Amino acid sequence: MDQLTQLRSQFNAELLEIKSPSEIQLLDTKYLGRNGLINTVLQHIKEVPADQKKEYGTNLNELKQEIIRSISEKKTFLLQSAETKQQIDVTLPGTSYPKGSLHLITIAIDEITSIFEKIGFIRVSYPEVEYEFFSFESLNMPKTHAARDDFETSFIEAPVHPKWGKMLLTPHTSSGQVREMWRVKTPPVRMINISKTYRPNWDATHTPMFFQFEGLCLDNGINITHLKGTLDYFVKSYFGEDIRARLRPHHFQFTEPSFEVDVTCTVCKGTSINNGQKCKICKSGWLELGGTGMVHPNVLKSGNIDPKIYTGWAFGFGIERVIMMKFGIDDIRNYYSGDIRFLEQF
């Protein structure tokens, strides 16, 4: 009997110290579990004298029921107390949980699309897996052109088409120009083509896969003033009213004349001075945006458009690049790192 009395006293003392539902659960396991104290005492009943076993067993069972009842009452008390403390105030704002958002490239694509839609440009989409003809021949790039070797273009191991040539991952959105001319058949054409493009490069300013957006405008009497006006409109709409664009003579196979497009440095605002020192971003007050020019007559012919009747211009800009210029990002690989800390800034 002394052993049971001691066990009851021990239990009651420990029960008084219990302050939480988790603690009462531990106490339950300690006394009533498979290897708990009650079962341990029960295993030693064979050591009790035969004439005392019945009374001992009765008292042990009463103690067990007492412990079960006490633990149950304590559990109920603790749970009711917790609920009282955690009464819900429906007037309080809900708990804020993390939520996803659009990737900054997707945001830029939507913004660029919206800018050009306002001046009548239609968003189109053409194949990323393309043939040589549409990426090169139709764009006035002969078979000997340097851009067509394996160091500049990602060719695909596939049967060569008898008319269109090898298959490849398109290196530029310009491959959609002739396809759009074929689709429309007769100008006017106002196309904006946004797509993934592929070139085997990987460094701070290049990735093997990147996004480009291509503009194409064809009609009667289209000239460079229309091109410059459109570029000015885009630059001010996307970068800000204080940013200007300029055309710098260059050479591209598919345009004649051809230009590089520069815009006012978004860091130093064209002054070439930042914080009293020469701007490290531009060094001259200008940043290179991309290439443009008047569509070459040979490209118009490939698209079944008469160059004696119609003229037009085209441009191709990298979306990652325009984002870099807008926000001052210095490594293009950050876009694809998957680092949420980088993406949450936009």
In whole angstroms, what separates CA 123 from the centre of its chain? 22
Distance CA 271, CA 285 (A): 5
Structure tokens at 233: 């409109």
Closest C-alpha among 102, 196, 169, 181 to residue 138:
181
Distance CA 297, CA 287 (A): 29
47 marked as binding residue: no
Distance CA 149, CA 199 (A): 11
Binding site, annotated residues for Mg(2+): 256
Binding site, annotated residues: 256
